[in-house]
């Protein structure tokens, strides 16, 4: 693992990234400049602007991936072993052969290259040795550390490697043929497998596991309506539904019932978002069901 220490990390940010006005300022990984609508390219900052604001606010700069930009980010999380990064992680960075830095946690890697996320692939995939891989080319950002790993200091164009890695590590995403929208869950999909579990049992089970230190307390904060640690309420919704996928054993109906019973429930959940009348809630659940796989295998608390 890199032990590189620096006082001015932005000196090590790739010049290729600094040429693009795709920057924002964050504090504790939450955007503060701009604090809202940062997903739109017109609201993003130049590197000089972001660095100046970050200095004034005592905050960090982050690079945002945008639809119009040429860059793609590979986020490798929890990919360490006792003596450093896993062999699988090291193989990935060697194959992509582009700018690589150690993440702020020290247990992950950011890789940035030129390329595109494949439309027919999910954004997240598990790695076989340890951790997982997330791939984004829009509406996400990396809080850069400048802790360059293995001398990979420059952003390179790697279209073939970018495509092959996605095909190898990311599962296929269902495509309903419509651009920019997702088909709502059919009645069969939405009901899912029958279950006798209630949202109250799910809540009590989560509380019990959290109490004994066997579950992340974040799921309860989200249940209570907190957006802490997330750039927006919508991303907090997505994180909460991802937790619900696990605790509800992937049952969409039960996930919906739990969301409605939580303090996150608001009018937006039932707002129609597509021409075929898919609601915000249906689309959120559908996206999570497409990408998540791990589910709870224990006993529910009565």
Q: What is the DSSP string of 124-182?
A: EEE-SSSSEEEEESSSEEEE----B-TT--S--B-HHHHHHHHHHHSPBPP--S-SS--
User: Helix, strand, or coil here: 84?
Assistant: strand
Q: What is the pLDDT of residue 277?
A: 78
Instruction: Give per-10-residue mean pLDDT for the chain (302 aa).
Output: 44 92 91 85 92 92 91 94 92 95 93 91 88 89 93 94 92 52 43 69 93 88 92 90 93 93 92 79 89 85 84
User: Helix, strand, or coil here: 116?
Assistant: coil
Q: What is the pLDDT of residue 298?
A: 84
pTM above 0.85, yes or no: no
Q: What is the pLDDT of residue 276?
A: 67
Would you give the DSSP letter of residue 80? E
Segments in the chain forming alpha helices (H): 15-18, 47-57, 87-96, 159-169, 187-191, 199-211, 218-223, 233-247, 252-261, 280-291
Q: What is the pLDDT of residue 174?
A: 56
Q: How big is the chain by its Cα radius of gyration, in Å?
A: 20
Q: What is the pLDDT of residue 176?
A: 42
Distance CA 65, CA 230 (A): 17
- Pick from 292, 268, 269: nearest CA to 282: 269
Q: Is the peptide bond before 34 cis (omega within 30 degrees of 0)?
A: yes
| Contact yes or no for 54/61 (Cβ under 8 A) | yes
3-state DSSP helix/strand/coil % of the chain, to nearest 5? 35, 20, 45
């Amino acid at each position: 693992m890199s032990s590189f220490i620096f006082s001015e990390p932005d000196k090590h940010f790739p010049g290729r990234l600094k040429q693009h006005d795709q920057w924002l300022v964050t504090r504790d990984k939450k955007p503060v400049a701009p604090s809202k609508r940062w997903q739109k390219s017109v609201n993003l900052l130049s590197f000089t602007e972001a660095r100046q604001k970050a200095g004034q606010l005592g905050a960090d700069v982050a690079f945002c991936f945008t639809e119009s930009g040429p860059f793609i980010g590979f986020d490798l999380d929890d990919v360490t072993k006792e003596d450093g990064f896993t062999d699988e992680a090291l193989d990935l960075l060697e194959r992509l052969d582009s700018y690589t830095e150690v993440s702020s946690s020290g247990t992950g890697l950011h890789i940035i290259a030129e390329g595109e996320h494949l439309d027919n692939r999910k954004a997240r995939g598990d790695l076989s040795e340890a951790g997982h891989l997330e791939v984004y080319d829009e509406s996400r950002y990396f809080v850069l550390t400048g802790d360059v790993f293995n001398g990979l200091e420059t952003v390179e164009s790697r279209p073939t490697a970018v495509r092959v890695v996605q095909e190898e590590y990311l599962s296929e995403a269902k495509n309903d043929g419509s651009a920019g929208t997702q088909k709502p869950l059919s009645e069969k999909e939405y009901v899912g497998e029958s279950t006798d579990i209630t949202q109250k049992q799910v809540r009590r089970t989560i509380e019990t596991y959290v109490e004994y230190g066997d579950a992340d307390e974040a799921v309860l904060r989200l249940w209570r309506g907190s957006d802490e640690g997330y750039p927006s309420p919508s991303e907090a919704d997505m994180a909460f539904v991802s937790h619900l996928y696990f605790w509800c054993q992937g049952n969409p109906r039960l996930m919906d019932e739990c969301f409605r019973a939580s303090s996150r429930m608001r009018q937006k959940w039932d707002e129609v978002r597509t021409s075929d009348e898919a609601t915000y809630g249906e689309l959120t659940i559908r996206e999570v069901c497409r990408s998540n796989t791990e589910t709870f295998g224990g006993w529910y608390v009565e």
